[in-house]
Structure 1
Amino acid sequence: MKRSLPHRWLIEQQRLGHALCVVLDSENEHHMRQTLLKSSRPDQYLSVYGQTLVAELGDTGPFIFIVERPGDEPVNELLDRPDSHWGWLASLPKGGLPTLMEHWRERLIIGERPHQALYRFHDNRVLARALKHLPVEAYPAYLGPALSVCYWQDTGWASMHNPAPGTYPVPASPPWLQVPATAQQATQTRLLNARRFLLAEHVRAFATLAEQRDPETWLRATLDQAKAWHWQAPEQLEFLLTQCLHAPTHSPASYWQVRPAESPDEHFQRVRLMTAFWQGDAPL
């Protein structure tokens, strides 16, 4: 029977004496994460978000698992459904799991306060797009200690070897952050960052909202409204999220609607001033 590329990759990397690992998107793979946790020793997995500034998101953040038997059922299940975007595979030197974890922790939070964001390295689409656009000389600083990676790219499997595995500082201007994101990736990133912002700054109000409606549905609808109004600047997104979160109906008031011939910036400034007036914070 002809083996698929990821199966051949796993066999070859194991033959070379490398450790194999699954970089898992835990947010959408809770069941698989629990399955792998049950079959793994404590030294065979790590939560990347743990012991970082976003530790509160650890339950939905990426996990990295060492795989000793690549032919086991959990791995085969993941390989059978690559279009579910569960993550990707990597090979490491033996004992290299902590080094890989630290490598991605150093690259995890991007931007400056108060407009920081999370880099979704564990998403196979993010990895594939970066490797497609980066020059080969940028691979080592991006992949770090990983010897080789195997991932689903669009409609097929791909693998890439790291020409110089090792430990590297984060460049002043990381080239992988200059790679244009797809519309789907941009939407997912905005959703994740919005959730992180509300959990960090408005956790009680967010918990109250969650008692009344599905918070993910509300978040998506609110971000869709921001997109329709062309409010994409961090200041505009934070204003919309915060005001809607604390509003009795968790939605914009009637005066928020766009007026004829009003530009997005004019619209935002008018709504901000009117909101301050109605809240007693400023004269109209």
Structure 2
Amino acid sequence: MSTPSLLTSQWLGEQKRRQRQLLVIANPMAAPNPIPMLFAKAPIRDYVKVYQGTPFENLAPLGPWLVRIDVSTMAALSALLQSPEHHWGWVASAEQLDMNEVVAHWQARMLIHYEDQRALYRFQDNRVISRHLKALDKEQIPLLLGPLCSALCWDSKQWISVDNPSPGTYPEPFDTPWLQVPPAAEQSAAAQKATLETWLWENHLDATQQLLTRESLATWLQVQLDKADSWDWSRQKQVHFLLEHQLNTDLANLPAWAPRAEEDPDAHFVRAQQEILLANKGALA
């Protein structure tokens, strides 16, 4: 736990001087989850789960939460600011905070489409949003922050603040220059894990919930990614197959997974896929 920096105090003071309202964009997939702490520290009354009312509603508890901060809830924000290394999310301000407007803004930006794939934009992760805000030109910032006037976030090393030169509503269609920002190497690995965690929750909800009764999702996922790396299974199809069928305890330890001496990575995958699917078919019969 650390002491909030001079920048955080200055930023909060400036927002108060301008009579702006505060908002926490919370990341429930952080460890520890900031949501229980927020509710334990203060009487939180105004909050929204961004995925609520979208096709990803089943992920709403794990997706971004927007939590209004007022005088009665400043204690909760102060507690968060003491632990930026937990990557609990970030703080923003608005002239007149309209939660519906802010939710609509982020719902319009939450889904990323590329080639034949899609992913959820993890704007609630301070490492992601800080990198994107720092990389954008001044005139591009309003496209990302929309109605928010200013942002305060931890970039893994220090606090940064970014002002929005033109707060407002920017409906679709809009440019997404932040998606062109290349990830840092360490953040690329973290982003991959976050994307795969979201994929598991979205596509294998029951099995993922059962897994959590046995072990940590993060620990389990790292073990699977280490396997994929050692087998040189780098394509999405290969990784998804591995994760889906490792969730099944009847299939997870079958000898068919092990590579054979004469197999290259592609031959290994084709053979293992056939044998695992056959075993799964037999288990379901």
Q: Establish whether TM, by shorter chain, passes 0.5.
A: yes
Superposition RMSD in Å: 3.0
Match among 6, 20, 23 for residue 21 of structure 1: 23
2:60 alignment partner, SS class:
helix
Q: 2:193 aligns to what?
A: 191
Confirm or deny: 8 A CA contact 2:245 2:251 kept in the other structure: no
Identify the match of residue 63 of structure 2 among 41, 61, 64: 61
Seen in structure 2, the aligned counterparts of structure 1 residues 246 and 139 have a Cα distance that, compared at 3 Å, is same
Inter-partner Cα distance in structure 2 for 1:114 and 1:203? 22
By how many angstroms is 1:275 displaced?
3.7
* SS of equivalent residue, structure 1 residue 26: coil
Counterparts of 2:281 and 2:71, CA distance in 1: 64
Please give the per-residue CA displacement for 1:54-104, whole angstroms capped at 9, x wherever unaligned.
222222222112222299322222222222211111111213322122111
Answer yes or no: is the 8 Å Cα contact 1:141–1:169 preserved in 2: no
Distance (Å, rounded) in 2 between the aligned partners of 1:110 and 1:228: 29
**1:90 aligned to 2:101?**
no
In the TM superposition, what is the alpha-carbon distance from 1:50 to its structure 2 partner? Answer: 1.5
- Kindly indicate whether the alpha-carbon contact (under 8 Å) linking 2:95 and 2:149 is maintained by their aligned counterparts in 1: yes
Partner SS state of residue 238, structure 2:
helix
Q: Is the 8 A contact 1:10 1:70 kept in 2?
A: no
Query: In structure 1, what is the Cα distance between the partners aligned to 2:181 and 2:229?
Result: 21
Gaps of 5+ in 2: none
Q: Are 1:20 and 1:68, in contact at CA under 8 Å, matched by a contact in 2?
A: yes
Which TM-score applies when normalising by structure 2?
0.82
- The 1-side partners of 2:72 and 2:9 are apart by 8
Aligned twin of 1:155: 157
* Structure 1 residue 188: Cα displacement: 3.7
- SS of 2:226's partner is helix
Distance 1:205 1:45 in 2: 29
Structure 1 residues 75 and 275 mapped into 2: Cα distance closer, same or farther (>3 Å)?
closer
The CA distance in 1 between the partners of 2:160 and 2:235, in whole Å, is 35
Equivalent residue number for residue 37 of structure 2: 32
How many residue pairs end up in the alignment?
276
Query: Percent of aligned pairs with the same residue?
Result: 34
Distance 1:137 1:273, change over 3 A: same
The question of whether the paired residues in 1 share the 8 Å contact of 2:150 and 2:162 is answered with yes
Contact 1:244 1:250 in 2 (8 A): yes
- Rounded to whole Å, the distance in 1 between the matches of 2:200 and 2:156 is 32
Name the counterpart of 2:265.
264
1:136-162 Cα offsets, whole Å, 9 max, x none, are 222111111111111112322211111
Which blocks of at least 5 consecutive residues in structure 1 are unaligned?
none
Q: Tell me what 1:254 maps to.
A: 255
Residue number in structure 2 paired with 1:137: 139
Given that residues 107 and 170 in structure 1 are in contact (C-alpha distance below 8 angstroms), is that contact kept between their aligned partners in structure 2? Answer: no
Superposition TM-score, scaled by structure 1 size: 0.83
Mapped to 2, the partners of 1:66 and 1:213 lie a distance apart of 33
